[in-house]
Amino acid sequence: MPDLGKYALTVLSAYGVTLALVLALVAYVLIRAGRVKRALAEVEERATRHG
């Protein structure tokens, strides 16, 4: 860990906020992708069954 001196809290909080926001964004994109993929598979299967 580098010595951040008197600005340690400033630097670490900037990185912390960024990490939290980017991880939340990635989670949102991936969760929505999985949910839509599963729902489409269900609808396609139903459509195939009913011709």
Partner 1 sequence: MSIWEYANPKKFMQTSGALLPWAVGLSVLMLTVGLVWGFFFTPDDYKQGSTVKIIYIHVPAALMAINAWGMMLVTSLIWLIRRHHVSVLAAKAAAPIGMTMTLVALFTGAIWGQPMWGAWWAWDPRLTSFLILFLFYLGYLALWSAIENPDAAADLTSVLCIVGSVFAFLSRYAVLFWNQGLHQGASLSMDRAEHVADVFAYPLWVSIAGFVLLFVTLVLIGTRTEIRARRMQALLAREKLD
Residues found near partner 1 in the complex (CB under 8 A):
2-8, 10-11, 13-15, 17-18, 21-22, 24-26, 28-30, 32-33, 36-37, 39-40, 43-44, 46-47, 50
CA distance linking residue 50 with residue 43, whole number of Å: 11
Q: Where are the alpha helices (DSSP H) in the chain?
A: 8-49
Residue type, 36: V
Amino acid at site 6:
K
State in angstroms the smallest separation of the CB of 46 from partner 1.
7
* Nearest distance, CB of residue 35 and partner 1, angstroms: 9
Least distance between partner 1 and beta carbon 12 (Å): 10
